[in-house]
Each structure stands twice: as structure tokens, then as C-alpha cells.
Amino acid sequence: MIHNPEIECMSREDMRKLQSERLIKTVKTCYDKVPFYRRKMDELGVKPEDIKSIDDINKLPFTTKHDLRDEYPFGLQAVPMTDVRRIHASSGTTGKPVVDTYTDNDIANWSEGVARVLAAGNVGHGDIVQVAYGYGLFTGGLGAHDGANKRGAVQLPISAGNSEKQIMLMKDFGTSVLCCTPSYALHLAECIEKSDKVNIEDLKLRVGFFGAEPWTEGMRKELEDKLRIKAIDIYGLTEMSGPGVGGECECQNGTHLWEDMFFPEIINPDTLEPVAPGEFGELVFTSLCKEAMPILRYRTRDLTRLIYEPCKCGRTAVRMDRILGRSDDMMIIRGVNVFPSQIETVLTEFPTYTPYYFITVDRKNNEDTFDLDVELREEFYSPNPAKQMPFIKPLYDRIVSLVGIKPNIHILPPGSIERSTGKAKHVNDKRVFKN
Ligand code: ADP
Ligand code: ZN
């Protein structure tokens, strides 16, 4: 089901017109109301009048996470606080969090983006949407909540954690839709498997919307099999409001980006030039509708590519490939670039392993070490190292061939690796001088 066919299926030509109008307005607001942007544009010698259409976007300055921190908390705000209705902030692993503020229209547009994704899973009246993303400053909980509201569905604001209760209510209330991180969904699936009170047959779950962290096709299969649902990817970031910047459609072949609100570009992160269409690079967004905190050319550090071929679903909105990872998640181990998601891909190829893993990187005797904790599934696990050996060898070979580095693999009993209720932590890089 398409939530807003007029926009989601708009001709490319009309979309460019709409984007041009909105860009011109956004740039003018940034220049007039946000000293940071006026300074940046003056440095580049660009005036709002120079932006005549969306084709002029590459004349504009970039915005980085660093800039957002420098302007903390409200330096990028373009409206007085009397027009603001809500403040959110991302977790921010180091230092100050990244702040976003919202007018009434911003909240409405944000809900619209989430509603478009939910509609792809036919979410509507009568659906019970269990929102197991964290509520609070994190945008996941309230973002999914407001989107469900816009679709006329029932909101169940349970937030993340308390898994026993999650699965009890899932059964008792007849939850049909689950929203949470893919790692938490996997944990809930495990809890259902282990539970003597709740059986998968008792549940009415039909579809899940998973995002806020990278996940793989292997993980999708795992979740769809275990929870007996359709698992749909939803993407977003605090800087662009939150979840619902885009999402998969029923074809599950790439994330449609809501280009009427967020203009995407892919750049080469070294040269900052656009890559050739269809090539991988860093995703950059310009907000086209945000009022409280408009953002020009925000460098997400997410690595992906854009797919312009039309989608079978009828939506004309461009699609984005799965996010390979964030450039700051990338580890350089013995000179080789490694993304945690590559390990998840490999693990989910094996029926013997769970998708849980933890990587520890260190440096000993001037050489990088790469330790990988994994779990064998219950039916394959034995504490006896000799019995583990036949499982280690194929995993080792596959990692060497796909990722290009030799891991020290440690097999742990099932359930030993920490389960996360939000975004999972996969890496501990202990090297003092990270390269
Ligand atoms: P933080 O930066 O603290 O994690 P956010 O919640 O704003 O705060 O995180 C946004 C980031 O989460 C995105 O830039 C992206 O890296 C990641 N992300 C969100 N949704 C997805 C998704 N569906 N697939 C992959 N990565 C995602
Ligand atoms: Zn589609």
C-alpha cells in the first residue's frame, strides 16, 4: 500500500521541480537565519541567488558532525524557541550529543516519512504496533510512535527492554507489527523460542520495521523465519529528524528515500566530488522541508549507493542500497578495511552459528590482532575443543576469502555474547594509535 501516491510516485521531472523550489527556500532561510551557514556560504562566495535549481546543490557548503558539535546546542536553529515543540538528541558516543529541534510542521513531516514506510507493510487501522525502540531523546521510539499514529494504527509504547514482558504483551494484545532494532528483534525471537509461556503460533505478528543500525540479508532471513514475519528495513538519522528518511517497499530491494524532504547525494569522501551514478560512496543529505534546523549537504558518513532504475512497486523515489557501514565503523586491520557487517554476512551463511559476534582488535608486538567471538547454535555446541574444530575451519576460510584477514576465532556457548535492546555494540578496538 502506498501512503502518499502523489509524492511517492511523482514523475522524476516534477520531483526535480519540487526539490528546486524547496532547495531555493531552504538556502535562503539558512543564509538569512543561521550565522553558521551565512559564514560558510560567504567563504565559498555563494549567495542564495546563485541557487536557481537543485542542479546547483554542489555550490553549497557541506555540514559535518563536527560542525554540529561546534554549534551545540542550538547554533543551527533557524527559528525562535517559541516556534519549537520538541528537542531530540542522538546518543553521541563521545562528547556532546547531536541535537535536533522540531517545529509542529517538522514533527508532521517526520511522521509522514515513517508512515510511508509503515504503509509498505500495509500498516493501518486495527494494527497493534509494538514500538520497542527506546523512547526518550533517541528518535527511534517517538518517531515510530508518531508514524503509527499517522497510519491510524494502535500505538503500544513499550520502549526497549524487559523482553519477558514484550513477548507476553505481544501474545496477550495480539501485536501485529513490531518496530525495534534488528539486533533486539533477534533477541526477542530467541526469547520466544526459549519461553514456555509464549509460542510463536500464539502470535499475530505479521511485519517488522527494523533499523537504526546496519543489518544484512542473512539477518533478514533469520528474523523472517524465526518471527514468521516480513522484515522491512527503515532508515534514518537524528540530523534529518530521525527514522523514516526512507524505507523499503514490499519488494524489499533497496530503501526508497523520501526525496521530496531529503535530497540525497553520493560523494567520494576523499575528493568530496560526486561519484558516477550507481557507485558506492558517502551519503550526503540536504533537508528540503525542515524548519527548525534546516541542514545543507550533511555528510552522514554512511557508505552506500543510489539505484535509479524504477522499482516494480510504482514508487519513483530513488532507492539506496543497504548501508555497508559508517565510515567511522570501518576498522583498518593489518591494512585491510573491515566492516563489522561483513562478519554478520559470513555468520548468517552458516546454519551452525548464531548471528551474534564480538570483535576485539588490539596491537601486540607491532602487529594488529583480530579476535572474533562467535556462538555455535545449541544443537552444534560442545565445550570440547576437538568437537568445535570441524566448525571453526570453514568459518575461518570464509572470513579469509571474503574479508581478507585471518581471525582468531573463539567459540562461546550459545547465549554468551551480550544481547542488546538498542543498537548492538560489535567492536572493541583497544589499539592506542588507531590507524
Ligand atoms: P547515533 O549517531 O548516535 O547512532 P542516530 O540514531 O541518529 O544516532 O543514528 C543514525 C545512524 O544510524 C545512521 O546514520 C546510520 O549509520 C545508522 N542507521 C540508521 N538506520 C539504519 C539502517 N536501516 N541501516 C543501516 N544503518 C542505519
Ligand atoms: Zn519499491
Ligand 1 atom 1 nearest Cα: 90
Ligand 1 atom 25 nearest Cα: 214
Q: What is the rounded CA–CA span in Å between residue 389 and residue 411?
A: 10
Structure confidence at residue 93 as a pLDDT band (50, 70, 90): low
Residue 329 confidence (pLDDT): 85
The stretch 79-95 carries a mean pLDDT of 88
Give the whole-number percent of the chain exceeding pLDDT 90.
Answer: 95
Q: 191, 180, 209: which is closest to 421 by C-alpha? A: 180
- pLDDT tens digit sequence for 28-78: 999 999 999 999 999 999 999 999 999 999 999 999 999 999 999 999 999
Ligand 1 pocket at CB < 6 A? 90-92, 139, 211-214, 233-238, 300, 302, 323, 326
What's the CATH number of domain 331-433, 3.30.470.20, 3.30.300.30, 3.30.70.120, 3.40.605.10? 3.30.300.30
Structure confidence at residue 433 as a pLDDT band (50, 70, 90): low
Best of 235, 287, 344 for a ligand 1 pocket test (most atoms within 8 Å of beta carbon):
235
The stretch 243-263 carries a mean pLDDT of 98
- pLDDT tens digit sequence for 100-157: 999 999 999 999 999 999 999 999 999 999 999 999 999 999 999 999 999 999 999 9
Cell numbers at residue 347, please?
Answer: 555468520
- pLDDT tens digit sequence for 191-242: 999 999 999 999 999 999 999 999 999 999 999 999 999 999 999 999 999 9
Does residue 432 carry a pLDDT above 90?
no
Does residue 169 carry a pLDDT above 60?
yes
Does residue 346 carry a pLDDT above 80?
yes
Residue 328 confidence (pLDDT): 81
Structure confidence at residue 327 as a pLDDT band (50, 70, 90): confident
Entry field: residues in the chain: 435
Residue 434 confidence (pLDDT): 47
Ligand 1 atom 9 nearest Cα: 237
Best of 68, 87, 215, 237 for a ligand 1 pocket test (most atoms within 8 Å of beta carbon):
237
Cell numbers at residue 417, please?
Answer: 555474547
* DSSP class per residue in 335-388: TEEE-HHHHHHHHHH-TTEEEEEEEEEEEETTEEEEEEEEEE-TTT--S-HHHH
Does residue 435 carry a pLDDT above 70?
no
Q: What's the CATH code, domain 1-326?
A: 3.40.50.12780
CA of 180 to the centre of ligand 1 (A): 13
CA of 89 to the centre of ligand 2 (A): 30
Look at strands 99-102 and 128-131 and give their pairing: unpaired
The stretch 270-287 carries a mean pLDDT of 97
Give the 3-state secondary structure of residue 277: coil
Structure confidence at residue 96 as a pLDDT band (50, 70, 90): confident
| Residue 91 alpha carbon, nearest atom of ligand 1 | 3
CA-to-CA separations, 278 to 15, 281, 304, 308, 318, in angstroms, rounded:
19, 9, 9, 8, 11
CA of 203 to the centre of ligand 2 (A): 28
- pLDDT tens digit sequence for 146-168: 999 999 999 999 999 999 999 99
Residue 232 confidence (pLDDT): 98
Pick the more confident residue, 91 or 378: 378
Cell numbers at residue 157, please?
Answer: 509504547
Ranges of CATH 3.30.300.30 domains, the chain: 331-433
H or E segment and range at residue 184: helix 182-194
CA of 323 to the centre of ligand 1 (A): 9
Mean pLDDT estimate for the chain: 96
Q: Is 355 exposed, middle or buried (0-12, 13-18, 19+ CB in 10 A)?
A: buried
Residue 94 confidence (pLDDT): 60
Residue 324 confidence (pLDDT): 87
Strand ranges for 162-304 from DSSP E: 177-180, 207-211, 230-237, 242-248, 255-257, 262-267, 281-287, 298-304
Ligand 1 atom 11 nearest Cα: 237
Ligand 1 atom 10 nearest Cα: 237
CA of 30 to the centre of ligand 2 (A): 33
Ranges of CATH 3.40.50.12780 domains, the chain: 1-326
- pLDDT tens digit sequence for 384-405: 999 999 999 999 999 999 999 9
